[in-house]
Amino acid sequence: MKSRPLEMPPETEDELLLRIRSGDEAAFLALYRRRQAALFRFALHMCGSVPVAEDVTQDVFLALLREECGYDPERGTLSGYLFGIARKLVLRHLERGRADVTLDLDADESPAAELRVIDDPLLELTHREGIEALRRAVAALPRRYREVVVLCDLEEVDYADAAVALGCPIGTVRSRLHRARGLLLDKLNQERNPRQSLDALKPVRCLL
């Protein structure tokens, strides 16, 4: 029997970046395909505007082509660095008043709508209502909590990369995420029980 040739492992993102800096267009496209969707979803959840999220995603990759690109592999992964650029660009848009977190997309247009296909109309309706409730709850979070939930829970970025993206210690990422999950649970419970009195809710103090 003839032995099958060993498959080469996929290139790392750092290897792709080295090729990009040498002018390799194929490497740029490969990295773009690998990271574009996650960066777009992050920007969309943070700003609520599809056009802004598209601009941010494009600008993130254009930043890699500049000679002054400040990525340092000793400080973290390229993924964390890219999310960090996206975060700064989103904040810049928000400061200019060009976006507001409303996330009033149709369910079919939402990135979360790609999770699974449901054939039963009743189950589909329930599923969409759950997605809408989660989207509203995430959008209503204060920015420092919203960004850590989107990174760690929705995009499954590890704590180290999230710390690089947010420019804070890992311990801060953990504590913000813990607090954010509690706030999300409170908001989702309020949606399920709209008649619950405000007096019955526990007071919330943001310590971070």
For residue range 169-178, what is the model confidence (pLDDT) as tens digits?
A: 999 999 999 9
| pLDDT of residue 182 exceeding 60 | yes
| pLDDT of residue 108 exceeding 90 | no
| pLDDT of residue 131 exceeding 60 | yes
Distance between CA atoms of 85 and 24, rounded to whole angstroms? 22
Residues 6+ away with beta carbon under 8 Å from 27: 11, 16, 17, 19, 20
The answer to whether residue 161 sits within a structural domain is yes
Domain count, the chain: 1
**Among 94, 83, 67, CA closest to 161:** 83
| pLDDT of residue 127 exceeding 70 | no
Residue in the block written with tokens 């405000």: 198
The whole-number average pLDDT for the span 57-69 is 83
The answer to whether residue 132 sits within a structural domain is yes
The answer to whether residue 206 sits within a structural domain is no
The answer to whether residue 148 sits within a structural domain is yes
The answer to whether residue 200 sits within a structural domain is no
The answer to whether residue 108 sits within a structural domain is yes
Q: What is the pLDDT of residue 7?
A: 60
Residues 6+ away with beta carbon under 8 Å from 131: 107, 110, 112, 113, 115
Query: Which tops the pLDDT comparison, 109 or 65?
Result: 65
- Work out the pLDDT band at 191, boundaries 50, 70, 90: confident
The answer to whether residue 8 sits within a structural domain is no
Q: What is the pLDDT of residue 95?
A: 83
Query: Which tops the pLDDT comparison, 71 or 147?
Result: 147
The answer to whether residue 131 sits within a structural domain is yes
Q: Which range, 14-18, 125-129, 192-196, has the best average confidence (pLDDT)?
A: 14-18
User: Based on the number of CB atoms within 10 Å of its own CB, is 17 exposed (0-12), middle (13-18) or buried (19 or more)?
Assistant: buried
For residues 40 and 54, the answer to whether their CB atoms sit within 8 Å is yes
Residue in the block written with tokens 């890219």: 82
Residue in the block written with tokens 């990009």: 20
Structural domain boundaries enclosing 19: 13-194
Mean of the per-residue pLDDT values of the chain:
77
Q: What is the pLDDT of residue 129?
A: 57
Q: What is the pLDDT of residue 185?
A: 87
Residues 6+ away with beta carbon under 8 Å from 137: 184, 187, 188, 191
